[in-house]
């Protein structure tokens, strides 16, 4: 399940390319079916039902966005199927069905690291897009930052004009502004419209999450984005990861190194678990839980009874000369 249309389609298309490539590298390639989940709950449920009812798949790789993953969660146990996400990070996934697993990191990890970094400031503003992933991160930050948040604004999903929200944030005169839009078009619009008040925001410390790691999301407002601090996926710089990325038929400008690795690992571990479950007469879920994972980013790590893979730490990045540089 991937967003193959809509604002996050660039991510979905790159991930599809990674999965097709990885599949050919597997000892026993799987038969892959792709459905467009659009980064939307409703579309994800439709995609899930098609994959299960028509394609009769053995496992789901997805959802991509947390809203998709959370939407299909109630359907997993009744269909006796496992969904392994490579990217979903909403803390709300933890504690859900044991058929729902994600090998990305939890945003609770991001919220912890982000909050620790800005705890010295007493005037923090947040701008959040209204969807599951961003609202969950905002809630985590509210728990950690409390009264330090002086302006807590949000805008509807896929909004195009955020100028009045920005004005409200400006009126609160914050020292730190946390930008919390979803990936895709909205994040680009938000940064562009903030840049219309560049004089003001030059004096505000800008903080964000995974959304602005991709260089494409910052190209239209490079001056404002310079020195922005990002808390996102950890950096992976092993030779194995580099070789895999170099072997891909085209570049992964949007998906980034970490999620390229988790996409590859999700497929590798899902296919292995499905095959092992047949051989051992066990369930796919049991295979995933009892064995340490293999792959580029997940090697040796395990779920330990959790929905999130354990032992992943957040990375802190700074935008320097237009590039996200690990600190």
Partner 1 sequence: MDFFLQIIANSLVLGTQVFFLALALYLIKAVSKIEHVALGAIATACGYGFYQGLQMGSNIMAIIISGLVAITLGYISFLILEKFYKNKEPLLGLIVSLSMGLLIEAMIAIIFKSSSKSLIEGILPIVDFMGVKFTLPGVYTLLIGLVLALTAFLLVNKTPIGRTLRSVSENSSLVSSLGINQLKIRKSVYIISSIIAGIVGVLAAMNTSLTPNMGFNLTITAFIALFVGGSSDIKGTIMASFLLTLIPEFLINYAPSSFEFTNSYRMFFVFGLALIILSFKPRGIFSKNIRQS
Residue 269 backbone dihedrals phi, psi, to 5 degrees: -75, -30
Q: State the sign of the Cα–Cα–Cα–Cα dihedral 120, 207, 235, 103.
A: positive
Q: Quick one: which of 50, 98, 144, 170 contacts partner 1 (CB under 8 A)?
A: 170
User: Is residue 20 near partner 1 by the rule CB under 8 A?
Assistant: no
Smallest distance, partner 1 to C-beta of residue 169, A: 11
Q: Contact between 155 and partner 1 (CB under 8 A)? A: yes
Range in contact with partner 1 (rule: CB under 8 A) among 158-166, 236-244, 256-264, 279-287: 158-166
Site for partner 1 in 199-238 (CB under 8 A): 220-221
Among 2, 5, 1, 13, CA closest to 252? 13
Radius of gyration of the chain (CA): 20
The answer to the question of residue 159 lying near partner 1 (CB under 8 A) is yes
DSSP code per residue over 182-215:
PTTHHHHHHHHHHHTTHHHHTTSEEEE-GGGTSG
The residue behind tokens 């999450």 is: 209
State both tokens at 171.
């009126």
153 part of the interface to partner 1, by CB under 8 A: yes
Q: Which is it for the CA torsion 79, 80, 83, 89, positive or negative?
A: positive
Q: Quick one: which segment of 20-28, 107-115, 185-193, 319-327 binds partner 1 (CB under 8 A)?
A: 185-193
Confirm if 307 and 96 have CB atoms less than 8 A apart: yes
Contacts with partner 1, 79-118, as mask; x by CB under 8 A: ----------------------------------------
Binding status of residue 16 toward partner 1 by CB under 8 A: no
69 binds partner 1 (CB under 8 A): no
Residue 59 contacts partner 1 per CB under 8 A: no
Minimum CB–partner distance for residue 6 and partner 1 (Å): 5
327 sits near partner 1 (criterion: CB under 8 A): no
Q: Which is nearer to partner 1, 198 or 243 (CB)?
A: 198
Q: How far is the CB of 181 from partner 1 (least distance, A)?
A: 12
Count of residues interacting with partner 1 (CB under 8 A): 34
**CA 181 from centroid of its chain's CA atoms:** 12
Query: What's the rounded Cα separation, in Å, for the pair 304 and 103?
Result: 12
122 near partner 1, rule: CB under 8 A = no
- C-alpha distance across the termini of the chain, in Å: 33
Comparing CB distances to partner 1, the nearer of 8 and 86 is: 8
174 touching partner 1, by CB under 8 A: no
**Residue bearing tokens 């990890």:** 109
**Rounded CA separation 187/34 (Å):** 26
- What residues form DSSP beta bridges with 102? 85, 308
Least distance to partner 1, CB of residue 24, Å: 26
Q: Which is nearer to partner 1, 163 or 323 (CB)?
A: 163
Neighbours of 278 (CB within 10 A): 12
Residue 164 is a binding residue for partner 1 (CB under 8 A)? yes
**72 phi, psi to nearest 5 deg:** -90, -10
- Binding residues for partner 1, rule: CB under 8 A, are 5-7, 9-10, 130, 153-156, 158-165, 167-168, 170-171, 184-185, 188-189, 192-193, 195-198, 220-221
């Amino acid at each position: 399940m991937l967003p193959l249309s809509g604002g996050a389609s660039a991510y979905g298309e790159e991930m599809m390319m990674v999965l097709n490539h990885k599949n050919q590298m597997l000892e026993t390639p799987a038969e892959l079916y792709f459905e467009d989940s659009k980064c939307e709950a409703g579309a994800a449920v439709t995609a899930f039902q098609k994959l299960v009812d028509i394609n009769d798949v053995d496992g789901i790789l997805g959802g991509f966005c947390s809203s998709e993953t959370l939407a299909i969660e109630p359907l997993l146990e009744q269909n006796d199927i496992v969904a392994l996400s490579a990217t979903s990070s909403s803390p709300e996934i933890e504690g859900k069905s044991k058929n729902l697993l994600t090998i990305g990191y939890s945003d609770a990890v991001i919220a912890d690291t982000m909050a620790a970094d800005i705890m010295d400031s007493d005037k923090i503003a947040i701008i959040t897009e209204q969807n599951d992933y961003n609202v969950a991160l905002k809630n985590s930050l509210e728990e950690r930052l409390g009264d330090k948040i002086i302006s807590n604004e949000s805008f509807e999903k896929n909004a195009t004009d955020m100028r009045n929200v920005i004005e409200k944030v400006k009126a609160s005169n914050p020292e730190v502004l946390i930008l919390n839009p979803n990936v895709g078009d909205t994040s680009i619009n938000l940064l562009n419209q903030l840049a219309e008040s560049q004089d003001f925001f030059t004096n505000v410390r800008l903080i964000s999450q995974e959304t602005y790691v991709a260089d494409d999301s910052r190209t239209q407002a490079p001056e404002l984005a310079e020195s922005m601090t990002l808390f996102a996926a950890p950096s992976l710089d092993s030779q194995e990861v580099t070789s895999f990325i170099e072997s891909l038929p085209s570049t992964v400008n949007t998906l980034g190194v970490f999620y390229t690795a988790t996409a590859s690992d999700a497929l590798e571990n899902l296919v292995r678990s499905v095959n092992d479950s047949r051989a051992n007469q066990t369930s796919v879920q049991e295979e995933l839980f009892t064995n340490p994972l293999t792959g580029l980013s997940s090697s040796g790590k395990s779920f330990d009874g959790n929905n999130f893979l354990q032992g992943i730490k957040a990375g802190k990045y700074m935008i320097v000369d237009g590039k996200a540089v690990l600190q």
